[in-house]
Amino acid sequence: MMSPHSEELLSQVAALPLLPGVYRYFDADGNVLYVGKAISLKKRVSSYFQKNHGGTRIGHMVGKIVRLETTVVRSEAEALLLENNLIKTLSPKYNILFRDDKSYPYLKMTAASQGPTSSNVSPMQFSRVAYYRGGVEKKHHYFGPYPSAWAVKEAILLMQKVFRLRTCEDSVFSNRTRPCLLYQIKRCSGPCVGHINAPDYAQDVSNAEKFLRGDAQEVLKGLETRMMAHADRLEFEQAAELRNQVSALSSVLHQQSVDNVSDRDVDILAVKVQGGKACVNLAMVRGGRHLGDRPYFPVHVEDAAVFIEEEAADAIPVSVEAQVLEAFLAQHYVSVPMPSVLVVSEPVSKRLLLALSEQHGFKVSAVYQPREQRRAWLDMAQTNAALQLARLLAEKGSQQARTRALAEALDLAHDDLDNLRVECFDISHTSGEATQASCVVFAHHKMQNAQYRRYNIEGITPGDDYAAMRQVLTRRYSKIADALAQAKQQGHAPSGSDRLPDLVLVDGGKGQVSMAREVFESLGLDLSLIVGVEKGKGRKVGLEELVFADGRDKVYLGADSAALMLVAQIRDEAHRFAITGMRAQRAKVRVGGSKLEYIPGVGPKRRAKLLQRFGGVRGVAMASQQDIASVDGISLELAEEIYRALH
């Protein structure tokens, strides 16, 4: 089989060096398809062109490649940095991409100058605690980053409550003649009017910085030592102030439940992937305190998933969740300070950790399947990731995205997605009893309950699902086929009620699809409309394959595909609707004995004979008029009456 790629491209691939580097694939329009890194450019890039990918999505992507660019680097750390800078710059379709979000906020403590000790108080002598976002200046002290502005403001409130540090602007500080309300409510020590001297205030600032770094117990012990020293010198007023500070700090530590001070700076990362969307929830622990979390939603997750198989050849985890997590680690921490410990919901490759360590200048470790406090933090992050992703999927834009994904996956005309109509059929019965077919409708990006239909299937061998599918499809589309043929003869477009759906889904594999094809061929309808949903290996959810009536190869969309999520949703709704109808019909037949009681001429004795002869109400209902009339005491006229009552 001839390769779809040019000789020039293949010769360029063959000439690649066995060196680390970054490669880029381009399509015919010059768009970047994919950016990747490799320890050996030749081995990695060659693998894409030497393997037979068939009709898979990765094969579809590889078929688009017309041009290749590579850059040789010295180490994998350099490759990691270059790869993710290019991903952010070029936004390739087949890479998981995390958009640059607004910068992280910090808690800022201004540096205090050694000013005069005269009565002229200067704001420069007293550090100010403030919310800050932007570039970091070396002369000031910064704590963070924090996941949200709310977390910074909570920390500032803590600095006011425990250490009574000032938050006012320098201009306000310089013009105070009496203390403000914050002093009155014990949230500031009043340095602006001389209620605290510079050395004592500096001691409070030092304690606050130690607390923010995680040395809370050291601060507490220091305060207690100073308090006892003042008490020994009979300086009870100063001792009382320190006692209040110790009490406030103890209360905060009790509320925060910070028992494990060994984990001072940790990032907790949990990943959830569903329906072609993903969420990475990043929670931060700084100074031993949990500061909250922040969700991230990458793009191109569904298309990037096609590279999992290829990347697996390089010992990188194969799950989509692991791919998303590693993409986040590589892209996020390129420009953001990171802690030395990560607690993660998915395993992280050692090579990525080594590259991050080399880039940041210290050893970075990742803890997978943690215990104790770390386990609690990760569980909380995973719960929040699931909640954030559920919110995203429930939004209208995500519903439209699923419709678009289905249209693109199956090459449906999607100029007017709002009017894309899908009808799905399912057969349900219990050992042949009460066979029913259901037809559910998806349109305008949601299920249309008012347009659902049930069909009672009769005249078939009990349990023959193929015959049941033939009957329901014939009953559903024969009138539409006649209307279409009549409209064609008369030279006008069919009315809205005579419109065929854009897609007909049947719950089943080749057998049901073959039956649907026979019906559509006999009615003269387009076979490309029929798609069967075949259960995958082990009948596991997410492994379903799509079977086409027009001869196309089977397609596996991927467990996390938005298109498969929509197909599964429609299929499951058809199954639910069929089962509820079947159960109602079955119950109706089984309790139909009450109808015998109300048939004129059928008393207790005749009812008992009927039930004895046919083994129950179901048998009576399935019997013909002649069979009923053969029962002792049942005339032909009464048999007809019984038959009509039960049917």
User: What is the per-residue pLDDT across 452-488, written as a single tens digit (0 to 9) for each?
Assistant: 988 888 888 877 888 889 999 999 998 888 888 887 7
Q: What is the torsional sign of CA 614, 616, 620, 621? A: negative
d(CA 207, CA 162): 10
Q: Which of the residue ranges 99-103, 320-324, 518-522 would you say has the lowest mean pLDDT?
A: 99-103
Q: How confident is the model at residue 281 (pLDDT cuts 50, 70, 90)?
A: very high
More confident call, 286 vs 374: 374
Res 425: pLDDT: 92
d(CA 161, CA 316): 48
Other CB atoms within 10 Å distance of the CB of residue 306: 19
Res 600: pLDDT: 74
pTM of this structure: 0.58
Res 580: pLDDT: 76
User: What is the per-residue pLDDT across 562-611, written as a single tens digit (0 to 9) for each?
Assistant: 788 888 889 888 888 888 766 656 555 444 445 676 677 787 788 878 87
Element containing residue 595 per DSSP (H, E): helix 593-597
Structural domains of the chain, with CATH: 7-75 (3.40.1440.10), 106-256 (no CATH), 266-394 (3.30.420), 412-588 (3.30.420.340), 591-646 (1.10.150.20)
- In Å, what is the CA distance from 356 to each residue of 349, 363, 502, 600? 11, 8, 49, 87
Res 117: pLDDT: 47
Tokens 């329009």 belong to: 29
SS3 of the chain: helix, strand, coil, percent, to 5: 50, 15, 35
Closest residue by Cα to residue 536 from 515, 552, 559: 559
More confident call, 520 vs 604: 520
User: What is the per-residue pLDDT across 95-134, written as a single tens digit (0 to 9) for each?
Assistant: 888 876 667 788 888 888 765 544 567 888 899 999 988 7
- Helical axes 76-90 vs 320-332, angle rounded to 10°: 90
Residue 314 scores a pLDDT above 70: no
Strands (E), 396-474: 422-430, 433-443, 446-447, 453-456
